[in-house]
Amino acid sequence: MREHFQQELEVVNQELVRMVVLVEENAKKAQKALIKQDSALAKQVIEADEKVNAMELEITDKCTLILAREQPVASDLRHIVACLKVVSDIERIGDYVVHAAKRAKELADEKYIKPLIDIPKMLDLGSKMLRDAVDALIHSDEVKARETAKLDSEMDHLNKQIYRELLALMLEDSDNIKQATKLLFLSRFLERMGDHAVTICSWAIYSAVGSHAEL
């Protein structure tokens, strides 16, 4: 029954996954651009972000049409509302990946004051959290959502670690300050990836059980 409706819901889910895949790919490229100091690769990421923004609008429109035509209720309704909320979080995460790419471009011609280890880790972790959170939403998996949200503490840990290391470098040599502050800001932005992923997790729980969770 209501096959058309089921198909429409499936399409929205698939579009969300596509959006996540795009952001994941961008994150991977941004990571590589940072490590290899590849300016051209960074430029690709910046340009690809347009597609991510476009997808946010497309998915929003699709959800709105479903509301208008199918009048969903109960769990279907909660799911659509959650999808609507979550697209903007995914888009934000995509923006932070772009920040990483922009920093990569800026620092392409400099020598790194320290080898980049934790920042790439944050990109990986952010990607994973994004992927798992959206999975939890699509499959109405409350357990997975809660577990994914817990990973945010690791993100915070990485952020603090970077802060301490960069602080030390800045105190050591004032020439380091310029690059270090750029890296510090980048780290703060990447930490927000985790925060947005946690928001996605709470909407996944909303869709699954109908209550707002404190994660």
Going by C-beta distance under 8 Å and a sequence separation of 6 or more, which residues neighbour residue 56?
A: 19, 87, 88, 90, 91
**What's the closest the beta carbon of residue 72 comes to other proteins, in angstroms?**
7
Size of the site for other proteins (CB under 8 A): 13
Task: Indicate whether 209 belongs to the interface with other proteins (CB under 8 A).
Answer: yes
Contact 91, 134 (CB under 8 A): no
Nearer to other proteins, 75 or 153 (CB): 75
Task: Indicate whether 210 belongs to the interface with other proteins (CB under 8 A).
Answer: yes
CA distance 87 to 138: 13
Going by C-beta distance under 8 Å and a sequence separation of 6 or more, which residues neighbour residue 80?
A: 9, 12, 63, 66, 67, 72
Per-residue binding letters, 4-33, with other proteins (x by CB under 8 A) = -x----------------------------
CA distance 80 to 55: 16
**What's the closest the beta carbon of residue 84 comes to other proteins, in angstroms?**
16
**What's the closest the beta carbon of residue 203 comes to other proteins, in angstroms?**
15
**What's the closest the beta carbon of residue 211 comes to other proteins, in angstroms?**
8
CA distance 93 to 171: 32
Q: Which residue stretch of 27-35, 45-53, 68-76, 149-157 sits at the interface with other proteins (rule: CB under 8 A)?
A: 68-76
DSSP 111: P
CA distance 185 to 108: 17
In single-letter form, the type of residue at position 166 comes to L
**What's the closest the beta carbon of residue 116 comes to other proteins, in angstroms?**
46
Nearer to other proteins, 12 or 97 (CB): 12
Per-residue binding letters, 71-110, with other proteins (x by CB under 8 A) = xxxxxxxx--------------------------------
**What's the closest the beta carbon of residue 209 comes to other proteins, in angstroms?**
8
Q: Which residue stretch of 13-21, 70-78, 144-152, 175-183 sits at the interface with other proteins (rule: CB under 8 A)?
A: 70-78
Which class for 38: exposed (0-12), middle (13-18), buried (19 or more C-beta within 10 A)?
middle
Going by C-beta distance under 8 Å and a sequence separation of 6 or more, which residues neighbour residue 173?
A: none
Per CB under 8 A, residues contacting other proteins are 1-2, 5, 71-78, 209-210
